[in-house]
Structure formats: structure tokens, C-alpha cells
Amino acid sequence: MTFTLAHYSTNDWAILLLVLILGILLGLLARGGSGRYRREAEAERAARIESERAEAHVRAANERIAELERHAPPIGTDTAAAVGAAARGERDDLSLIRGVDRGGETRLNDLHIYRYRDLTRLSAEDEAALEGRMGLEPGTIAREEWREQAALLERDERDQHRARYR
């Protein structure tokens, strides 16, 4: 049995035309929605790239820390000296510096930094090495103004320090 165009009635043609129009409309609707999915996919891709960059930054920082630690004496060997210095009053309360808690003060003492003047005398190279030894992000000491804070505390300007840094 063969079909020819003459076999279709007017109703058949109308139904075929409606199905064709409906298909075109559905296709257009589906394309319009794909923009949303494309934007979501691009946002996910951008987030993944940013995450990979952050991970690379952390890896580079960890490698820098490891390199600095390979060339430095171990931390903690002079803890007894720090305790003795504190008992003799030869140590300042470094935890008053914003960004240095009691654990940070202990690490500073382990690195032979007991007084405010020890921090004020740091060179840029000493600062970078100290950040590496303490596991701090590069630039932390400058950003948190440890040297400036130590200078105020060394001059016993605690009110100005408190007003500016607390």
C-alpha cells in the first residue's frame, strides 16, 4: 500500500500543521531554558578554576614553609630558656599584639623573640623568615602591623595601642 499526498484529508493536514507548529514552539522554549543551564555550568567552571588556583597557592606556601624549615633549627629546643626569661622578667607579653595569641607567643619565644624590641628590629628578610617558621601567610606581620604595635607597647603607650588595635 502506497501513500500519496492526495490521501490526506484537510483535517490530516491541519493536524500535521499543528504538530509542526507545536514542535517549533517546544524547540524554542527548550533553547531559551538552555541559557540558564549554560550560565550555571559556566559558574561551576569558574568556581572550579578558582578552587584550583587557591589549592595551588596553598601548595606553594607549604613548599615555601618546608624549604625554610629545612634550613632552620627545630622549633621548641629553647622553650626552657623562654620560661626562664619570663621568670626573670626578661620577656614582654607578646600576646598583647593583635594577631599573636598565647600559642603564637610561645612560638615567638621558641624563635628567640622575647621582647617588643625584638619585633621592632626585624628586617624585611627576618620578617619573611619568621612568617615561614610560624606557618603564617606571607605578609601577615606587615598587614597586622606587629612592628608598629610592638613599638607602641615598648614605649608603654598601651592606651594608644588599645585604641588603635583592639
Find out whether 97 and 122 touch, Cβ atoms under 8 Å.
no
pLDDT for position 83: 52
Q: Which residues contact 161 (CB under 8 A, 6 or more apart)?
A: 96, 149, 152, 153
pLDDT for position 46: 93
Find out whether 114 and 88 touch, Cβ atoms under 8 Å.
no
Closest C-alpha among 127, 9, 114, 139 to residue 61: 139
pLDDT for position 155: 92
Q: Please state, in angstroms and rounded to a whole number, the distance separating the CA atoms of residues 132 and 150.
A: 20
Q: Is the torsion defined by CA of 109, 110, 112, 118 positive or negative? A: negative
Find out whether 132 and 65 touch, Cβ atoms under 8 Å.
yes
pLDDT for position 86: 52
pLDDT for position 13: 87
Find out whether 65 and 131 touch, Cβ atoms under 8 Å.
no
Give residue for cell 567552571: 45
pLDDT for position 70: 75
pLDDT of the chain, 166 residues: tens digit per residue: 566 666 788 888 899 999 999 999 888 777 665 567 778 888 999 999 999 999 998 888 888 888 877 776 554 545 555 555 555 567 889 999 999 988 889 889 888 899 999 999 998 888 988 998 888 899 999 999 999 999 999 999 999 988 998 7
pLDDT for position 32: 62
